[in-house]
Amino acid sequence: MEHLHLLYDLWLPDGEILKYVEPLRAILVEAAVRGRATIYHQYWHQFEPWGVTGFLLLKESHISVHTWPEEDNFAAVDIFPCGPMDVDLIVHLLGEALQPVRERLTRQVRGAVPVNSSSRHPILGRETGRQRDGTTRSGTEVLAP
């Protein structure tokens, strides 16, 4: 079975919204709910003097966000669905609410490995799955603001 894992990187024109839990929590929760995610639990941590880590434990898996307002107003969102949630809508709603000047969406397929295809990973030092054409199944999209 394959699962899609989205990594959504955003650079905002102003880092104020990334400094504190609110309103970031409300934005992420609204996007998740509108994207048909079922939230079981959420945890938010406020760093000092600023910066946020937030985690939504979902029936469908999880969504997390980590912010670095002091580093180019950067936020990293991780969306790992294992169910019928609308990840494209969630990404769209987050982009609409946060208004990034630059964004990058990476779609990584996780799970199933093609039969009879492997190669030695240079860091892990063991065989890892590859597609028959020798590539991994992932892609990066640079989204226009």
Alpha carbon separation from 62 to 21, 25, 57 (Å, rounded): 18, 14, 5
Distance CA 105, CA 9 (A): 6
Options 3, 64, 66, 117, the catalytic residue = 66
Options 61, 64, 92, 117, the catalytic residue = 61
Structure tokens at 67: 């912010």
Residues 6+ apart with CB under 8 A from 6: 77, 78, 79, 80, 81, 87, 91, 105, 106, 107, 108
Options 3, 5, 41, 82, the catalytic residue = 82
- Smallest Cα–Cα separation from 141: which of 102, 112, 110, 99? 102
Specify whether 82 is catalytic. Answer: yes
Which are the catalytic amino acids? 61, 66, 82
